[in-house]
Amino acid sequence: MIFGLFRGRSNARLIERLHGEVIAAARDPVLFTDYGIADDLDGRFESIALHAALVLRRLQHLPSPGPDIAQDLADAVFRHFDIGLREMGISDTGVPRRMRDLAEAFLGRANAYNQALAQPEETRLQELAATLSRNVFAGRQDGARLARYAGCLDAALQQMPLAQFLEGPIFGGGAAVNAREVL
């Protein structure tokens, strides 16, 4: 019965809701004003990549259909990147190259965040802070505060059952940590 939710429009609604929640969390103004993520195209990409990577990380570890939802959500993220590039005026011939670059950057970051979060607890936040400093802040700023937020968010997501992803919300409403709550 549960697999019936993942056909046609039901799946599209679920994926669009999850995508919308990821984007809303990634665009929280606090991330740009208090955490220091650049409020520009690169900074917004970094915030989306971080939030999407953490959600995808959890979905991949959930029982079926979690991994299928993860794939559909990743496809939606990239579909929206494609739309964004086209809306910015990137030519039809330039979009595929830009999409390859975005995919490499996104997958590299997701892998780096996964590796940092897989470290023993005593070094996890240090590794994540170094990774975030390198990726999000291009080495110009310490990533420690953002690492605390991402670590808390990852911990909250890791506790979420599949039903929470299906029914929502995954951010806000007490479902996951809020950027304002992490010092």
| Confidence grade of residue 2 (pLDDT, cut at 50, 70, 90) | very low
The contacts of residue 12 (CB under 8 Å, 6+ apart) are none
The token pair that represents 177 in the structure block: 């940590």
- pLDDT for 97-112, tens place per residue? 999 999 999 999 999 9
The helix (run of H) or strand (run of E) holding residue 57 is helix 41-61
CA 51, CA 149: separation in Å to the nearest integer? 11
End-to-end CA distance of the chain: 43
The token pair that represents 139 in the structure block: 């080495």
Domain count, the chain: 1
- pLDDT for 137-171, tens place per residue? 999 999 999 999 999 999 999 999 999 999 999 98
Structural domain boundaries, residue 28: 2-181
Q: Is the dihedral of CA 57, 164, 153, 79 positive or negative?
A: positive
| Confidence grade of residue 172 (pLDDT, cut at 50, 70, 90) | confident
Task: Output the pTM of the full model.
Answer: 0.91
